[in-house]
Amino acid sequence: MSTIAGARPRRARSRAARTARAGWLLSLPSITVMVLLTLAPLVSVVIGAISADGWERLQQLIEAPGFTQTLRNTAVWVVVGTVGSLLVGLAGALALQHPTVRLTGLWRSVLLIPWITPTVVAATAWKWFYSRDYGLLNALLLEVGVVDEPVSWLTNTSIALYAVVAVHVWATFSFVMLMTSAGLAAIPAELYEAARMDGAGALRSFLSITLPSIRDILFIVTLIVTVWTLNSFLPVWIMTKGGPAGATNIVPVQLYQYFQLGDRTAIYVLAAFQLAFSVAIAALYVRQTRKEDAA
């Protein structure tokens, strides 16, 4: 940022004040909208959760059978879902950048399709795909001879969760790819040229040019994908409803069940729970960017 060395003359001070005011004015519409829409629910969640009823309900929830399983599943869901989405999206973005790839527009449009398909339909299509009796996946595997018997993708307690996570990765990797792609496009080609002149190989260029340039966008994309994954209930809801035997039950799915039942206290408690995690992750991110700004 530009700085004026030495003492600031009065003109510069009032200019700074004007800039500050302008900054606030420009942000005000956004803030107003978001405050109106989210402050009240945020407050009611927090109040509802820390009230006496809230503590009691929290106790009930923790003691209910299957709670540990739900927590464990949620952890797996968030980690595998986020990392999977990032890796796949990044791979796609990098592949698109390669100079030998023509028709990048076509590739990009095709790879956007998972994201454009409404979740409700996509989850249903995947459910069929995974179906023990009608599923194409089993039909293919049986045909090729990889397996002898149809696999119970959605009803085997050990693999059901991963089967559904794959659907979540499928639905979100396009976003990662899109954002990273935009970031990659902003890297001037000359930097790579210069590196090549200096004898750097592909890996070295990647590590010292590509990654640092997209670090900012990667951070925020990671944050967004993590929060999405944490809040995502539709794929599980449509494909397994939390089964079999609770193997795919995750916190957001439980939350939605309570919503349908109208159980307000449980909603507040569970939402506060989820929120705490999201806030922790967001805090990490904010601290990271603050550190960079200072540097």
Partner 1 sequence: MSTTTATSARRVGARSSRALGGVVAHVTLLALAAFGLLPVVVMVLTSFKPADQIFRIPATFLPENPTLDNYVRVFTDSSMPAALTNSVVAGLLVTVITLMLGGTAGYAIARMRFPGSGAVAVGLLLGQLLPVTVLLLPVFQIVVALDLIDTIPGVALTHLTIVLPLVTWMATTTFRGVPIELEEAAMIDGCHRLRAVWSVVLPVAAASIAALAIFAFIQSWNEFVFASVITRSLDAKTAPVALTDFAGQFEVDWGSTTAAATVIFLPLTIAFLLLQRYFVRGMSAGAVKG
Partner 2 sequence: MRRRHAVIGAVAVAAALTLTSCGSGGDDAAGSGDVTIEWWVPNWDEEESRDLIAQFEEEHPGVTIKTVVTQWETMANQIRVALDSGDVPDVITELTSRIPNYARQDQLADVTDWYDDAMPRDDFYEAAVETASFDGVVYGVPMRWDAGSMIYNVDLFEQAGLEGPPATWDELIEAAQAMQELGVYGYGWPYGDPGNSRVRWLNAYYTHGGTFTEEADGSVTIDPAASLAAIEMITEGFEEGWVTPSSLEATNTDLQNLFMNGQLGFYFDGAYAVTPIKEAGVNVGTAMWPGPDGPGTVSADGFSYIVPAGAENLDVVKEFVQFLALPEHQALMTDTFPARYSAAEDERFSDELLQPFLEQHGEHSSNRPAYPGWEELIPTIHSALQSVALGDQTAEEANEAILEHAGQILRTS
Of 33, 37, 125, 283, the residue at the interface with partner 2 (CB under 8 A) is: 33
Which is nearer to partner 1, 82 or 274 (by Cβ)? 274
CB of 75 to partner 1, least distance (A): 17
Cis preceding linkage at 244, omega within 30: yes
Distance CA 141, CA 122 (A): 21
Which residues from 218-237 bind partner 1, rule CB under 8 A?
220, 224, 227, 231, 233-234
Question: H helices within the chain, ranges in order?
Answer: 10-34, 40-50, 52-63, 67-97, 104-116, 119-130, 136-144, 160-185, 189-197, 202-205, 211-213, 215-231, 234-239, 251-261, 264-294
Q: Is there a contact between 128 and 138 (Cβ–Cβ < 8 Å)?
A: no
Sequence-separated contacts (24+) of 272-275 with Cβ below 8 Å:
272/45, 272/46, 272/48, 272/49, 272/50, 272/54, 273/49, 274/230, 274/231, 275/42, 275/45
Q: Closest approach of Cβ 179 to partner 1, in Å?
A: 6
Torsion of Cα atoms, 170 then 172 then 177 then 178, to 10°: 130
Shortest distance in whole angstroms from residue 69 CB to partner 1: 20
Q: Which stretch binds partner 2 (CB under 8 A): 80-88, 90-98, 180-188, 259-267?
A: 259-267
Nearer to partner 2, 60 or 289 (CB): 60
How many residues in the shown chain lie near partner 2 by CB under 8 A?
34
> From the list 152, 213, 231, 288, which residue makes contact with partner 2 (rule: CB under 8 A)?
152
Q: If contact means CB under 5 to 8 A according to the sort of partner, which of partner 1, partner 2, none does residue 132 touch?
A: partner 2
Minimum CB separation from partner 1 for residue 84, in Å? 11
Nearer Cβ to partner 2, position 194 or 261? 261
Regarding 145 and contact with partner 1 (CB under 8 A), the answer is no
Q: Which residues, in sequence order, are CB contacts of 280 under 8 Å at separation 6+?
A: none
Residues 173-202 that bind partner 1 (CB under 8 A): 173-175, 178-179, 181-186, 188-190, 196, 199, 201-202
